[in-house]
Structure 1
Amino acid sequence: MKIVYLHQYFRTPDMSGGTRSYEFARRLVRNGHDVHVVTSDTDAAPDARRTWRTTVEAGAVVHWAAVPYRNAMSARDRLSAFGQFARLAATRAASLEQDVVFATSTPLTIALPAVYSSRRRRSPMVLEVRDLWPEVPIALGALRSPLTRRAATALEGWAYRNAAHVVALSPGMAAGVRARHPGAAVTVVPNGCDRALFADADAAGQALRARTPWLGDRPLILYAGTLGFVNDVGYLVRMAATLRRDRPDVRVAIVGQGAETARVRELATRADVLGRNLFMFDQMPKTEVVAFFGACDLAVSTVRDEPALHANSANKVFDGWAAGRPVAVNHEGWIADVLRRSGAGLVLPPADSAAAAELAGAFVTDPARTAAARTAARAVAATEFDRDLLFESFEAVLSRAVAPRSALSAIG
């Protein structure tokens, strides 16, 4: 198949951020498909807008549009970046030969260039949903006016109507799509565990501990991801304050950047935990963050206490399991169900960070419990969320989308 893969925030392992699209793109190439990725160069200088550069990443041709983007941007600047990329990507995608165009959100505006290319090239479009629209932005207060809510709802419906198939990252997201659009064809392909990338996590973690005086052989709780409004990383700061009082040997590490970085740092300073039992690090490439996962005793994924966020499929959860580490979340939903069923981590109370600190602190200081949870984490990574297993479902969705067109071509 000739596949045009649209993802505004495509990342390779040498960059910070999630690498789902990279991992799927390279596997598509490995299986003989021709893959062109259309994405944005978010680190481009502001005066470089409307320019393109092209690279080859693991056999996939990647087209980078110079559209700067930061999590710390204002809502207006973010919307501007979404619009700029949609315009540039539409023209570039439609210029490429394609049997199918695959578009992954967020943002949902990725559907605009995808549908344009699909119609111009008369190719099917497959849409991947990483967040439920418009439920999540409404719950977070990003869409406050009736006009913006109606516009978001209209864009969502239009995107689904134009999709030959929808890929959802969790059962909850799939249920949300089906509830609003009963006729939609939906397949769940969750985020996955890149076990090969994390194969040396244990050794890398030991090396990190050996060269890090504040850590040494102390228990470590890790948050590695975006520090955005939705993530509520202040929850970890509040946990650290309780841990410093009750379990001063436990360390908390936060690795990442985002709109809330300065606020989290200020909270940690006011709580007198920064540089004492809580340590903050800038975002780093996926290949480097492996050492932090390998060093930790518990990887944590936090979100605000909003039911609309319970369907999330955070990369950091699967990276923790890929490294053979227990994971904790502070919300209900399908990930919490997996944790309770498998024993591969903990479910922390969403509104009580002190109780969460007690649960997590007792866990990471109990070698027998952490050892059992590590075994469970490795089992979950290998049997349920291995990237190669999930890729088979992903590739099958694209093949089914192309099949009707191929049959018509054969008849003609």
Structure 2
Amino acid sequence: MSGGTRSFEQARRLAARGHEVHIVTSDVVGDDLAKKPKYRWRRTVEAGVNVHWFPVRYSNGMPFSRRLRAFAEFMVVASVRATRLKADLVFATSTPLTVAVPGIVASKLRRIPFVFEVRDLWPEVAIEMGALRNPLARRLAGLLANLAYRNAEEVIVLSPGMADGVVARRPATATTIIPNAADLALFQVNQHAVRQFREGQRWLGDRPLIVYTGTLGIVNGVDYLVRAARRLRELDADVQFLIVGSGQEWEDVRSLAAAQGLLDTTVRMWSSIPKSELPVLLGASTISTSMVRPIPALWDNSANKFFDALAAGRPIAINYGGWQADLLKESGAGLVLDPYDPDAGADSLARGVRDKRWLLDAGRAARGLAIREFSRDLLFERFETVLLRSANRGLADYSATPGLV
């Protein structure tokens, strides 16, 4: 499927180690859900993992209020489902923050340990972005975050900044940093396939290609890339941009590209593709990119696209600060663009995209980072250690309770 595969990659590795794994998740559908006779669960087995799906109408293009309603709906049905599954440990991964509730409910009713993963720091990010303005809603979200951290045997976070945010709320919380990962085997670039891809795109050929692959949501601010493309066309008309994804701002980004006279000439936009098709696309790119809006709370992110580029050995350009910017500056694996000035970002891209020596060195540095620090298998070992440690510690606590076996 398109999108991040973190949960599946962790789950299938757990299953391969002999653990029995159940995933309770949403089966995202569109408006055709209204035509279905009733809501119902379905169950499949994927790579040895038992997956429990419940249909929920949801998309990144929904208004924030409708997305909250979808979160609440899934929170209720997932709580019921999770409590019916026998387990030694329950693990919940957010966002949304409401996912913590099924984990806590199952933990309490089943009397088993609970591990919580924070993939975006809520409600802090939502508040700083202005999406969560109601004082009561802010307070309730804060209370929910505190509840999740207090009930978790351990909290997993994706970046140092997120760890700081969790500890700021609850200093006693045991916290482990496990960022998103680089899938080394998947992104081993096939040069023959890359040549075929480039030859199959009549607009591309041997021209430099800058790509963005991922969500076009409010947090991403992909309009930055279109504005940079306008300036870059003045500097180097051969450079091409390809934006691949979906989300709430898809039409806005497309309209901006059209208004600037860039659409289907300098900027092309494709819908989301399965992750299995990304290696060839990234392999064909000259520089990959990761974008977020200039809001410091977002700079603690751990975007999949960043690690996909590392795995593919492609230089990556980002328009934000934080730990990933520090990593690029230290390693030389990419560019840190001015977060507030797309024209200045375009100037940096124009220099990088034609510097063959820098492109080669940056690509090697990116692949080296993926191997040494961010390989999926390496980070899975850390993940399994947290789960086993929490399960053993939590079960020991529960076994001391009178009446428990």
| TM, length-normalised to structure 2 | 0.96
Residue 9 of structure 2 aligns with which residue? 23
Residue 75 of structure 1 aligns with which residue? 64
Tell me whether 1:136 sits opposite 2:136 in the alignment.
no
Residue 314 of structure 2 aligns with which residue? 325
SS of match in other structure, 2:21: strand
Contact 2:58/2:67 (CA < 8 Å) preserved in 1? Answer: yes
- 1:317 CA drift (Å): 0.1
Q: Select 2:344's aligned residue among 355, 359, 365.
A: 355
Equivalent residue letter for 1:21: S
Tell me whether 1:316 sits opposite 2:305 in the alignment.
yes
Equivalent residue letter for 1:85: F
Tell me whether 1:146 sits opposite 2:135 in the alignment.
yes
- 1:404 CA drift (Å): 2.2
- 1:408 CA drift (Å): 5.6
- 1:50 CA drift (Å): 2.7
- 1:74 CA drift (Å): 1.4
- 1:409 CA drift (Å): 7.5
Contact 2:112/2:398 (CA < 8 Å) preserved in 1? Answer: no
SS of match in other structure, 2:269: strand
- 1:201 CA drift (Å): 4.7
Q: Percent identity?
A: 52
| TM, length-normalised to structure 1 | 0.94
Contact 2:113/2:395 (CA < 8 Å) preserved in 1? Answer: no
Distance 1:409-1:86 versus aligned 2 partners, 3 A rule: closer
Equivalent residue letter for 1:124: P
Residue 105 of structure 1 aligns with which residue? 94
- 1:377 CA drift (Å): 0.7
Whole-angstrom CA distance in 2 between matches of 1:120 and 1:85: 19
Tell me whether 1:164 sits opposite 2:153 in the alignment.
yes
* 1:322-373 deviation per Cα after TM superposition (whole angstroms, max 9, x unaligned): 1111111111100001101111111000011111111112101111110011
Whole-angstrom CA distance in 2 between matches of 1:206 and 1:179: 50
Contact 1:104/1:110 (CA < 8 Å) preserved in 2? Answer: yes
RMSD of Structure 2 on Structure 1 (CA): 1.3
Tell me whether 1:51 sits opposite 2:40 in the alignment.
yes
Residue 270 of structure 2 aligns with which residue? 281
Q: Select 1:205's aligned residue among 180, 189, 194.
A: 194
SS of match in other structure, 2:117: strand
Whole-angstrom CA distance in 1 between matches of 2:398 and 2:169: 33
Residue 370 of structure 1 aligns with which residue? 359
Whole-angstrom CA distance in 2 between matches of 1:227 and 1:220: 19
Contact 2:42/2:54 (CA < 8 Å) preserved in 1? Answer: yes
SS of match in other structure, 2:188: coil
Residue 208 of structure 2 aligns with which residue? 219
Distance 1:194-1:356 versus aligned 2 partners, 3 A rule: same
Whole-angstrom CA distance in 1 between matches of 2:296 and 2:181: 23
Contact 1:206/1:294 (CA < 8 Å) preserved in 2? Answer: no
Equivalent residue letter for 2:274: P
Q: Select 2:240's aligned residue among 251, 258, 274.
A: 251
Residue 38 of structure 1 aligns with which residue? 24
Count residues with an aligned counterpart.
398
Runs of 5+ consecutive residues of structure 2 not aligned to the other structure: none
Whole-angstrom CA distance in 2 between matches of 1:410 and 1:75: 43
Tell me whether 1:384 sits opposite 2:373 in the alignment.
yes
Question: Structure 1 residue runs of 4+, over 4 Å off?
Answer: 408-412
SS of match in other structure, 1:46: helix
SS of match in other structure, 1:126: strand
- 1:99 CA drift (Å): 0.6
- 1:206 CA drift (Å): 2.2
Residue 96 of structure 1 aligns with which residue? 85
Contact 2:111/2:398 (CA < 8 Å) preserved in 1? Answer: no
Whole-angstrom CA distance in 1 between matches of 2:368 and 2:225: 27
Greater Cα shift, 205-214 or 178-187: 205-214
Equivalent residue letter for 1:40: S
Equivalent residue letter for 1:280: M
- 1:197 CA drift (Å): 1.1
Whole-angstrom CA distance in 1 between matches of 2:368 and 2:151: 38
Distance 1:408-1:149 versus aligned 2 partners, 3 A rule: closer
Contact 2:132/2:138 (CA < 8 Å) preserved in 1? Answer: yes
Residue 395 of structure 1 aligns with which residue? 384
Whole-angstrom CA distance in 2 between matches of 1:196 and 1:31: 19
Equivalent residue letter for 2:5: T
Runs of 5+ consecutive residues of structure 1 not aligned to the other structure: 1-14
